[in-house]
Structure 1
Amino acid sequence: MLDSCVDHSRGSHRTDPVAGRGGRACAVNRLVRWLLRSHWGLALVVITANFVGVGAIFLISWAGGVFSRVGDDWHDAAWLIAIYPAFGFALGIGLAIYDRRKHLRWLDQGRKPTPEEARQLIRLPAAITVRAILIWLPGILLTVWLVDRFTEYHNTVVIGAGFILGALESAGVIYLILDRLIRPTVPIVAAVLGPTVHPSATVLVRVLVTWAVSGALPGIIVIVVLSDRTTPASDRVRAAWMFSIVALGVGMLATALLARSVATPMRAMYRALDRITRGELDVRVPVGSASEIGRLEHSVNELATTLREQAHMEDMFGKHVGSTVAERALAGSADLTGDVRTVSALFIDVTGSVRLSAEMEPVEFVHKLNRLLATVVAATEDNGGLVNKFQGDAALCIFGAPSALRDNATPALRAARRIRDEVVATGELDIGIGVARGQVFAGDVGSDTRLEFTVIGDAVNEAARLTTVAKEVQRRVLVSDAVVQAAAPAERAKWKRHKDIRLRGIPGRTRTWTDVPPPR
């Protein structure tokens, strides 16, 4: 459930998330996942942060020479001073264990969190940080009073400022660690709540807390120590040097970690978007933050999903109406309103389809018919035509609409010969093919809610009539004189006169052609 060592934008294990440091990144992720699963995980975070705060207070006191001025009875005072820190320390650990059981119970149970549990988890870093400050405050007031009452050091402003800075340092560390700790759960939370940005988890808050912990607080510590006039000059110089070095070192480390926390998801999103622009739509980046970056990660995933659905829709639309018509319809082309064009119409029909459907199992007949229609589609589209519609066991193919062709007769004749040759080669079905040429209306018919691209005209009717006669012709193909005369000379040479025939519904006699058999 908490797998964060996989580069989801590539669909494989991540080996170089940040300049080749994938191994260390995965080691950190494993530690984070262990802390999440351990009942002592949050307690260890609180312990670590409190040690940082106590360490900061100790360094402030030592660098400022406080220890040398508390007097000889400091041992007795130390026991009194240690009472509340011990109590606060135990209280913080107990509350952290309680928080772990309350807010991550769903993880132990192997289920998704409820919406309320997900919201509480997102608020957890800020909530524990604020609570840590509230636990520190009584201790600061009590300790300052005890130091002033039972020791010889009476500069309460300096000692109070030192303890406050230590408390803020501890709280800042708690926030930064917890913000990192819950990151593997963000994809699960996002699946429950959708894309969410909690005010306490924004990039701005993360930057400000990092700056406070690594730069502002050490700088203020230097100011506090230097402002204590009772501190010897040598101690003040030592304190200034020490905390300046600490600020530089911690600042560099914190800034690098912060930059990495932003750069790593940005790099994943860049790679994902780069793949999307190349047409690879099976892209998904992990949603690893409840900040604006998490919203961006979610948006990239939504973009890929939307484009994937759009591509599927276009593919299905193209299968139903033809890729050319689909592309023009989706582009909103004005050509689809319809106009009169000169086209070549190719009509194909299966001979004896009623008898075949009665003799064969329906599934077997459909399989044979689909193989025939696949041949028709390939031959038509390879020659720049459009399979306008299937009519049971027949098909109408148009050359010259909706995409105009400089010569639409030649590709229509080529397609007719290719379909006939491939059908004969399979020996599964007997067909007739008719090709005619003339002016037709090509465009949309229907209503505002349902449109269909079609062609209407004498050329279509003539092609259908020729198909019926072609079933009795040896070569199974008959074309009108207009098609042959409009074809290129090289293609025209492959056809010969058949005879003049009378077609039903068409006045006069129609001059027809059939193709020349190949030499034996």
Structure 2
Amino acid sequence: MRPRRLLARYAAGLTSAYLLTVAEVIAIVLALSGRRAATVPNIATAALLICIGTATVLVGAVLIVRPSLRWLRAGRQPTEAERQTTLKTLRRQSAITVAPWVLTAAVLIPLNLEAGTEVQVVIASAILFGAIATLATGFLFTLRTLRPILASVSPDATTPRLTAPGVRARLLLMWTVCTALPGLAIALLLFMQSRGWIIESTTPIELALLVLALVAVVLGLRAMILVSISISDPVGEVVDAMAEVERGKIDHAVDVYEWSEIGRLQRGFNSMVAGLRERDRLRDLFGRHVGEEVARRAIDADESFSGDERDVTVLFVDLVESTRLAATREPHEVAEVLNDFFRIVVEEVDAHHGLINKFQGDAALAVFGAPLRVEDPATAGLATARALRDKLRCLPVDFGIGVSAGPVFAGNIGAENRYEYTVVGDAVNEAARLADLAKDYESRVLCSAAALERADDAEQSHWATQHSEVLLRGRASATQLWMPKGHDVDD
């Protein structure tokens, strides 16, 4: 809503609330006291007071909202001073709507001191009713208009004492004003007539009782609408926002313009959505580290990341002479080559439900069988190695791929507040050594007998051996070498 339109609607709403209540008060006074109160001085004075009251409410409404419209019109956040001023809007509105009735009471009651107790009681009761009704009606007519302003300065930790009546207090207040007070007035009229106090026993009061009953009905309806809107609107917005979140739109938030427990509900919803966004962000980061499919299945299966011993297949892929590449090409060209390399590796490992455990400069370590248990990790790892061999040949760099299998520790390694998920075991070292050795073979891919023995028959048919064993650096026992068919094993 535009600031100028907001100001006009707010001023019109507050002023019309006052004028509507004035008409109701006049009807009450005339019905209860008739000509005794409708004297020329009273009529003239009341007309003047109504004009002054209307001007007071109109000007006061403008003065209340105009400071807030400055930063709202500028499209900026309010300063702390502006925020504190805006937080007092409802309090100042209450004062503005009650002020004309205080002035009316200060003038009309002394003016009617000689008119008799009955007229004074009627005027005082009508003014009290007018003050309460204007207060309630003013809130009813301006509640929605003020929401954009109140939502921009909603209370937080810096304003812990700023509160508004809660649902229970509002219902009790509505009952008091709309049921208890008119009912008490009716009871007092009947009691005073029966006793002859103030009102003669022969004085007809049927019209007065009817007016009070109508006042209770009209004011009760107005207050009920006010209370219901003040509760149903924010709750309905939260319900609608929850439906949006349920459909996956977690960027949705509700305006916080209530300062009661309903406002705490609004803030609680926004905090919940913020938590969901943070959780999804962490899940996204987790997925980028371990692969989207692996992350999703780990969460769905509630897999433990604390650590245990597993039989896995390890694939290690390393680029050849990446240092020379950096020396002969521009940095952005090197970055493009590395990005293409890692993209191909990630795509193939993800396609076979493996885990990119870590990137090491120009190398990558992939694990099949941890953290998620897969049905045939060796087959998946060997199939990935063959696919990488074909796709990495398009890069302007050479590479070596090693595949091994065996028991490893898979879990969190590090300090209590900083750790990473990794695998530790002889199979990891063997895969790294095989990748380094594979750079000397035309196939550029080598696997150990331990890995091939664990694969299914279909995958084993793609591999051949040179029937010799090699003692890899750092290992105590020799490793039998296998490579994809179609390459010279004695290269």
TM-score normalised over the length of structure 2: 0.82
Give the partner amino acid of 2:23. G
Alpha-carbon contact 2:112-2:119 (below 8 Å) kept: no
Pick closer, same or farther for the CA change 1:428–1:56 going to 2, 3 Å.
same
1:35 to partner: Cα distance? 5.8
C-alpha separation in 1, matches of 2:135 and 2:397 = 82
Give the partner amino acid of 1:362. P
1:356 to 302, 305, 325: 325
Give CA deviations for 1:127-159 in whole Å, capped at 9, x if unaligned.
34245435423533542443452x588553334
Aligned ranges for residues 428-467 of structure 1 at < 5 Å?
428-467=396-435
Match of 2:271 in 1: 302
C-alpha separation in 2, matches of 1:97 and 1:397 = 68
Pick closer, same or farther for the CA change 1:111–1:480 going to 2, 3 Å.
closer
Match of 1:30 in 2: none
Pick closer, same or farther for the CA change 1:498–1:226 going to 2, 3 Å.
farther
2:136 to 167, 172, 184: 172
Question: What is the identity percentage for the equivalent residue pairs of Structure 1 and Structure 2?
Answer: 32
Q: Residue 127 in 1 paired to residue 95 in 2?
A: no
Pick closer, same or farther for the CA change 1:381–1:120 going to 2, 3 Å.
same
C-alpha separation in 1, matches of 2:71 and 2:356 = 56
1:305 to partner: Cα distance? 2.0
Give CA deviations for 1:83-108 in whole Å, capped at 9, x if unaligned.
55555555555545544556655456
1:163 to 101, 111, 127: 127
Alpha-carbon contact 1:345-1:437 (below 8 Å) kept: yes
Q: List alignment gaps of at least 5 residues for structure 1.
A: 4-32
Match of 2:455 in 1: 487
Q: Pick which of 95-104 and 312-321 moved more.
A: 95-104
Aligned ranges for residues 37-52 of structure 1 at < 5 Å?
37-38=7-8, 41-42=10-11, 44-52=12-20
C-alpha separation in 2, matches of 1:179 and 1:368 = 61
Match of 2:236 in 1: 267
Match of 1:470 in 2: 438
Give CA deviations for 1:353-386 in whole Å, capped at 9, x if unaligned.
2333332222212212221222212222322322
Give CA deviations for 1:157-181 in whole Å, capped at 9, x if unaligned.
3343233223332233234434444
What SS is found at the alignment partner of 2:130?
A: helix
Q: Residue 291 in 1 paired to residue 240 in 2?
A: no
C-alpha separation in 1, matches of 2:409 and 2:66 = 74
Aligned ranges for residues 53-452 of structure 1 at < 5 Å?
53-64=21-32, 66-69=33-36, 74-76=39-41, 78-79=43-44, 87-88=52-53, 90-101=55-66, 106-107=71-72, 111-130=76-95, 132-137=97-102, 139-140=104-105, 142-149=107-114, 154-190=118-154, 198-200=162-164, 202-204=166-168, 206-208=170-172, 210-211=174-175, 215-216=179-180, 219=183, 222-223=186-187, 229=193, 230=199, 236-241=205-210, 243-245=212-214, 247-248=216-217, 251-252=220-221, 254-320=223-289, 336-424=305-393, 426-452=394-420
Give CA deviations for 1:183-242 in whole Å, capped at 9, x if unaligned.
220122128987877334644555455555655555556556656745899964344445
1:489 to partner: Cα distance? 1.4
Pick closer, same or farther for the CA change 1:324–1:111 going to 2, 3 Å.
closer
What SS is found at the alignment partner of 1:190?
A: coil
* Aligned length, in residue pairs: 480
C-alpha separation in 2, matches of 1:49 and 1:122 = 22
Alpha-carbon contact 1:172-1:209 (below 8 Å) kept: no
TM-score normalised over the length of structure 1: 0.78
C-alpha separation in 2, matches of 1:508 and 1:167 = 97
Pick closer, same or farther for the CA change 1:256–1:348 going to 2, 3 Å.
same
1:412 to partner: Cα distance? 1.0
Alpha-carbon contact 1:126-1:175 (below 8 Å) kept: no
Pick closer, same or farther for the CA change 1:416–1:190 going to 2, 3 Å.
same
C-alpha separation in 1, matches of 2:66 and 2:306 = 66
Q: Pick which of 136-145 and 201-210 moved more.
A: 201-210
1:46 to partner: Cα distance? 5.0
Alpha-carbon contact 1:125-1:174 (below 8 Å) kept: no
Give the partner amino acid of 1:37. L
What SS is found at the alignment partner of 2:441?
A: coil
What SS is found at the alignment partner of 2:153?
A: helix
Alpha-carbon contact 2:314-2:403 (below 8 Å) kept: yes
Pick closer, same or farther for the CA change 1:367–1:179 going to 2, 3 Å.
same
Pick closer, same or farther for the CA change 1:206–1:125 going to 2, 3 Å.
farther
Match of 2:196 in 1: none
